[in-house]
Amino acid sequence: MKLRGISAKEVLRELEERLVSDMSYHSGRILGSMCTLPHPLARKIFSRYLEKNLGDPGLFPATFQLEREVISMLGELLGNSNASGIITSGGTEANISAMRIARNVSRKNGRKGKTIIVPESAHASFDKAADLLDVKIIKARLDEEYRVDVDDVQEKVTSDTFAIVGIAGTTALGTVDPIEALSDIAEDKGIYLHVDAAFGGFVLPFLEKAGFRVPSFDFRNEGVCSITVDPHKMGMAPIPAGGLLLRDEKLFIENSFEIPYLAGGKYNHPIILGTRSGATVIATWALLNHLGVEGYTKIVKRCMRNTRILERGIQKIDGLRLPVKPTMNIIGILSDIVDVCKLDLELRKKGWALGKFPEFLRIVVMPHVKKRHIIEFLSELESAVQILLASRTLTSSI
Ligand SMILES: Cc1ncc(COP(=O)(O)O)c(C=O)c1O
């Protein structure tokens, strides 16, 4: 650290220079992220209320009330306006917290609470949860549509199982697991069911409003105990804004930690964070009110239109295909003739940042990805495939 500080002007100038190598959403070249540019209104509000701390809600009762309203709006969106909940730092914290609550519920009911069953497609946050909670994670296989195989889940359930997880919008391909069937298993066996709709929670309800056929994934399924839903993904809220909704408020109360020393008066923390951003909650409240169902539906429809353009474009390129038809604005790219790792490298050389999974590449068509970016990308994708095919022909002819 410098002994004597430099002027604010110098700091700003240095930052302008240093940060220039970061990628920008404006470029349209970030194709593999579930985050996006926060909505302009949310940006403005976020910077205005930076000091609000919901780790000490007694000091900020009005912000706390806005959080209650955000939870109620999200609950309504996900089939239960009475749901309880909290805004977290992201999907990871929400998923870990849900697994902790599920483990405690199980042990309180005299069960072993030793294993969770998640789909093979589950986000790494469940591996983190299992590690932190010192429980075993069992991965159920996927069917040919990349959704969890319900029979496999059923077979894997034992008296050690304390939670089953279903995904509504997988990280890799945006597929939706058969939540209705998982809900039946959970109810039948008396096991906690958590739905990770970190991404899909801000897409599926609006797709449904737009007339798309959407599988049932939310609290309308009686076995669903909790749902992760992240405003900082398709909700266009500033980072950090995840969300955890619980059907039964009692579970939050019973599984929280009393913090006695707070200036605003003692309060119980139900999640991992202590000090946490109130600004993000206020910004989320503002967006939900400003955009409303109609505004979010428009955004989701636009992303879906662009997804269809991309889908058709990929299908026209020789040698490429989709692993599965997109359910939402996430699309995979598979190839039987070129190595997708090499394809990824070729695209990175041209400045495109996609997601890379073992078998395929993946694009998330977020609101910052415009039609013009997709047209440009498709043309560079085609030439990247040709470069790889040409180098293959050259190597085999030597
Ligand atoms: C389905 C799903 N759940 C959870 C997460 C974790 O969210 P975060 O990165 O906000 O912690 C992600 C992130 O991509 C995700 O795709």
In DSSP notation, 297-324 reads: HHHHHHHHHHHHHHHHHHHHSTTEE-SS
Torsion angle of alpha carbons 351, 326, 323, 156, nearest 10°?
A: 120
The structural domain count of the chain equals 2
Give the three-state DSSP class for 7: coil
Of 238, 259, 289, which residue sits at a domain end?
289
Q: Is the CB of 198 under 6 A from ligand 1?
A: yes
The closest residue, in CA terms, to atom 14 on ligand 1 is: 171
> Ligand 1: distance of its center to the CA of 332 in Å?
17
pLDDT, one tens digit per residue, over 166-220 is 999 999 999 999 999 999 999 999 999 999 999 999 999 999 999 999 999 999 9
Q: Does the residue 1 lie in any domain?
A: no
Q: Does the residue 80 lie in any domain?
A: yes
pLDDT, one tens digit per residue, over 364-373 is 999 999 999 9
Q: Are residues 31 and 74 in the same domain?
A: no
User: 186-225: b or e for each residue (b if 16 or more CB lie within 10 Å)?
Assistant: beeeebbbbbbbbbbbbbbbbbebeeeebbbbbbebebbb
Ligand 1 atom closest to Cα of 232?
A: 10
Of 262, 289, 316, which residue sits at a domain end?
289
pLDDT, one tens digit per residue, over 3-60 is 999 999 999 999 999 999 999 999 999 999 999 999 999 999 999 999 999 999 999 9
CATH of the domain at 115: 3.40.640.10
Which residues partner with 219 through β-bridges?
Answer: none
Q: Is the CB of 92 under 6 A from ligand 1?
A: yes
Of 289, 316, 337, which residue sits at a domain end?
289
Q: Is the CB of 90 under 6 A from ligand 1?
A: yes
Q: Are residues 249 and 264 in the same domain?
A: yes
Q: Does the residue 382 lie in any domain?
A: yes
Q: Does the residue 2 lie in any domain?
A: no
Whole-model pTM? 0.97
Q: Are residues 64 and 158 in the same domain?
A: yes
> Ligand 1: distance of its center to the CA of 159 in Å?
29
For 338-343, what is the mean pLDDT? 96
Q: Are residues 269 and 182 in the same domain?
A: yes
Tokens of 195: 């739905």
Question: Is there a contact between 272 and 93 (Cβ–Cβ < 8 Å)?
Answer: yes
Q: Is the CB of 171 under 6 A from ligand 1?
A: yes
Q: Does the residue 294 lie in any domain?
A: no
> Ligand 1: distance of its center to the CA of 121 in Å?
12
Tokens of 330: 């996430």
Tokens of 163: 């939670």
Q: Are residues 32 and 44 in the same domain?
A: no
Q: Are residues 46 and 177 in the same domain?
A: yes
Question: Is there a contact between 174 and 200 (Cβ–Cβ < 8 Å)?
Answer: yes
Q: Are residues 125 and 145 in the same domain?
A: yes
